[in-house]
Amino acid sequence: MSKAKIIGILIIIAIISFYGGYLISNLISSYSPTIQTSKLGNITIIDSSGKYVEISIPVKKIVVLTGDAATILKILNASDLIVGISDVIANKPEIFGNISNKTVVGSWKNPDYEKIISLKPDIVITYTKWTLDAEEKLEPLGIKVVRFDFYIPSIMDREIKTLAIIIGREKEAESLCKWMKDILNIVNQRLSGLKEENKLRAYGETYITWGTVGPGAGLYDIMILSGLRPIGEFSISYPKVSAEWVINENPDVIIKAITADPLTIKQSDYEKILNDIKQRLNLTNAVKQNKIVILPNDLLYKPSYPIAILQIAKISYPDRFSDIDVSYYLKQYLSFLGIEYKGIWYYPS
């Protein structure tokens, strides 16, 4: 073999090694942790619980227990794959449209497994920390349980792209993730140069009065991405605190999560919530400076979370976001869902 051929072969090997290693590393660290198995027509994915799930593709029938996952499926134009839903999805026809007419299989926390089995789905999508007996009930019958949360910003991109591979909607997922990233880039650019010691301190309250958040909670991530410092150092995701503790911590910003439907909630409802916060925490800087944001979970979580971050950042740092119209991005999101622009999706708006 000539010297030239040997050099050529070595160059080819080097190129393959480099790009092959790059693609594998990129796949695992940033995007879809999907592994092609040796079995034709099957893929193995790692869901958000860290569990390996082997799935026959294409997936044709899905039971979805969470509103978060149903939202993603609708945006990815996969509503036709859904055969069963939980009651929380059935109760929001204004958001989920025809999906709400699918067969109801109980609640997202306590599904009716016999009804699920009767629908013969390929997969069931549920949360990572609930319905923990689902695998035991369903997988012996060939129904795979896939656990995605779709409410934690740090893993949502990966979840969306992994689900897209399962259902064959990769292009739609790329478009959605790019839209999300573009909004986050705006926030990052506007907050650039903000030193850690100058970031405002924030109290995030869950649906429960005096329920707050720590690492692992979606709202905790959202506060950090909004350029805020969550008060307290907790070892659990959803601790309970007291009025005295919050007042003593004296947050500069308060973010309140609510479960109300943004399409039907009235301004007077928001004002009642706002007045309650002001009465409970009237001694804090947040109330004195009117830096309070109230957000329904239909905006705060799901792929709409960048809009929530944008609104929080605008209230927290108005000088940096004075020219930003948050409603512009909200209209885009609602168009993805096929929903008319109406309702009150954040307060103050």
Q: What is the pLDDT of residue 40?
A: 67
Q: What is the pLDDT of residue 68?
A: 96
Q: What is the pLDDT of residue 180?
A: 98
Question: pLDDT grade, residue 14 (50/70/90)?
Answer: very low
Q: What is the pLDDT of residue 311?
A: 98
25-39, 69-83, 139-153, 256-270: segment of lowest average pLDDT: 25-39
Q: What is the pLDDT of residue 15?
A: 32
What tokens does 225 get? 């991405």
d(CA 143, CA 72): 21
Tell me which residue has tokens 């190129």.
15
Give, for 155, the enclosing helix (H) or strand (E).
Answer: helix 153-167
What tokens does 26 get? 């990129």
Q: What is the pLDDT of residue 167?
A: 96
| Mean pLDDT confidence for 247-274 | 97
Q: What is the pLDDT of residue 13?
A: 33
pLDDT tens, 223-251?
999 999 999 999 999 999 999 999 999 99
Q: What is the pLDDT of residue 349?
A: 86
d(CA 111, CA 90): 13
Tell me the percentage of the chain whose pLDDT exceeds 70. 89
| Mean pLDDT confidence for 168-179 | 97
Q: What is the pTM of this model?
A: 0.86
| Mean pLDDT confidence for 251-261 | 97
What tokens does 150 get? 């779709």
Tell me the percentage of the chain whose pLDDT exceeds 90. 87
pLDDT at 198 over 50: yes
d(CA 322, CA 314): 7
* Residue 328 neighbours by CB distance under 10 Å: 10
d(CA 346, CA 36): 42
Domains of the chain in sequence order: 30-168 (3.40.50.1980), 173-337 (3.40.50.1980)
Give, for 101, the enclosing helix (H) or strand (E).
Answer: none
| Mean pLDDT confidence for 327-349 | 96
pLDDT at 265 over 70: yes
Question: pLDDT grade, residue 20 (50/70/90)?
Answer: very low
